[in-house]
Chain A
Amino acid sequence: MNLIEKVLAKASGKREVTPGEIVVADVDCLLLHDLSGYLTSKVFEQEVKRPMRYPDRVVMVFDHHFSPPTEEQARVLEENRAFARRHGTHLFDCGSGNIHHVGVQGGFVRPGRVIVGSDSHTPVHGTLGCFAAGLGNNSHAGMVMPFGKAWFRVPETNRIELSGRHRPGVTPRDAALWLTAQIGEGGAVYRALHFAGPYIDELGVWDRWLFPLITIDVGAKCGFIDPDDKTVSFVSRITSAPFEALRSDSASEASATWSYDISDLEPQVAASPTVGNVTPVAALAGRDIQWAELGGHGGGRLEDIRQAAKILRGRRVADGVKFNLVPSSRQAFAQACREGLVEELFRAGCTWFPPSTGSNQAINMGAMAATEAMVSTQARNFPGRNGSPDARMYLASAYTVAASAVRGKLTDPREFLAGVS
């Protein structure tokens, strides 16, 4: 069996599971953000009407409406707080960070666990060797909350074998954007994606994170990376809670193996209308942008903040560009403070926002007019998601975002990185 088959077998009390089989498994952690938490709480209290069986496994994080702009959204948060108090669940209030980073930094995500959530990027937790899948409100309210369980169809697994080394100025996010287009939106529907190979082995945990993050956009159910020494020491530094780092048997076979070499890759950008619309930045260089942002489920990491600082050293954000920085967690912000990056980027013209998911949907960092465009490390660029359906959204690496903020136009960052190590 591979890693996720082992996790699902253990969680459903079986010796073995096979692809196609439907199992009912114990869930270790349910991650909810303010919006999914609200919708789930209504179904749970109005339709299910049973007690919460394991409140300690339910974690709510206010990261989408981290600064509610309307009375209605403020009310949503108040109702969520009352729900968390009523049932005794965990609650991380506004300013705690992005839901998935809080899940990791809070020690809830550990190898071998079953993690579910309404946020569609929940599969990112396969990075740490979990079986992690997004489910809908009715699964959470109808089975996870009252019974601590969920039903799953055991997925077939595709192995994604990655090799090669980046050229200078190219980052794991460029590789992940490119890979999204290679596999294609809906190119791996219902599959589990096993990310492996020398390229993945070399990456740090927060860079590995960018790969299971894309599984939703290619239609996969989950993605995972077999835990190694890096994973175990990463988790052990965060929590003393026990975990079992299950790994795939070497004999476990994938339904298919897709191999990619990233050695020749250039900086990439995904342009609206969809995340699979990926081209080299060079092909779109010169397009105007008014907004730039580090943030989102995969952005606002310390790695992103450091990249932006490297580009902005000795430079300034262009007039008319708003470059917003959204740390993924309080821990990332604290480390950026220690490294002097917070002041440095502020002086270069950037604006810091609270640790959260940032402008993911036009909820709390403003909307865009039809004539405007944004380049960001966010995970989504669907029309209308951040204001006008005609506003353009480009997804790129922190290097590209920062370089574009300096020019006020989409910019290949390599011209700023010559001679910088």
Chain B
Amino acid sequence: MRARGRCWKFGDNIPTDQIVRSDRAIGSMQEMRKHVLENLNPAFARDVRPGDILVAGRHFGQSSGRAVAPKALQATGIGAVVVESAARLFYRNCFEIGLPLLQCPGVTAGVEDGDVLDVDLATGILLDERSGARFEGERIDPFLMSMLRAGGLIPMAGQLAGEADGGRGAGHGGAGREGES
């Protein structure tokens, strides 16, 4: 799985409330998408193109666990979210809705707005095509990769619950380091 597109860079500790304002959370996805991250960079919602890459700092997506925050980002058509680190619920939600997320320590210091980034999700390698800089992100747990390939949790939920019912437990992913959460 790969993503390639222009970089949009954001800061540290951005809460989901800043991704989608809480009073918009009951509105239509079209409306949320139109205002996504508007307080931090009004140009993002207007100019983002399918395939672009959102880059952010530490503890991205903290606060509320509302999945509408990653869903609104997904609705912009971005190819991946690449962060120094993600808040746990945001991390989990991204995979459950099928939006690729890579934790890549050091990335924010090395890429600039508008750089074209090439992200290989299977290996965690990110390449900045402008500067030639190469970053090594964390490997995504195999269980979560399978969730991304399935298009999210819902398409694989029956199988997941059924396996547990069969007494075999879930044993997916084994001792994946950064797996969920």
Contact = CB atoms under 8 A, between A and B. Distances in A.
B88 A189 contact: yes
Interface stretch (A350-358, A378-386, A413-421): A378-386
Contacts of A118: 65-66
A47 to B, nearest CB: 6
Contact of A38 (B26, B89, B157): B26
B18 A13 contact: no
A13 B165 CA distance: 9
B175 A190 contact: no
Interface residues of A, number: 58
A186 B153 contact: no
Contact of B167 (A13, A139, A143, A146): A13
Nearest to B69: A136
Interface stretch (B2-10, B90-98, B110-118, B122-130): B90-98
Q: Which of A38, A149, A189, A363 has the most CB of B within 10 A?
A: A189
Contacts of A149: 160-161, 164
Contacts, number: 169
Given A135-B89, A136-B89, A189-B88, A24 B96 contact: no
B153 A189 contact: no
A362 B85 CA distance: 29
A406 B21 CA distance: 32
Query: Which applies to chain B's interface (DSSP): helix, strand, loop or mixed?
Result: loop
Interface residues of B, number: 52
A380 B58 CA distance: 18
Given A36-B66, A361-B23, A120 B153 contact: no
B70 to A, nearest CB: 8
B13 A48 contact: no
A152 B169 CA distance: 12
Contact of A153 (B93, B96, B181): B181
A138 B164 CA distance: 18
B160 A219 contact: no
A221 interface: yes
Contact of B169 (A13, A35, A141, A221): A13
B26 to A, nearest CB: 5
Contacts of B93: 136-138
Given A21-B175, A119-B64, A146-B158, 4 more contacts: A118-B66, A142-B154, A221-B181, A276-B13
Closest 9 A-B residue pairs measured CB to CB? A186-B59, A147-B161, A24-B164, A20-B175, A136-B93, A153-B180, A142-B154, A138-B96, A136-B67
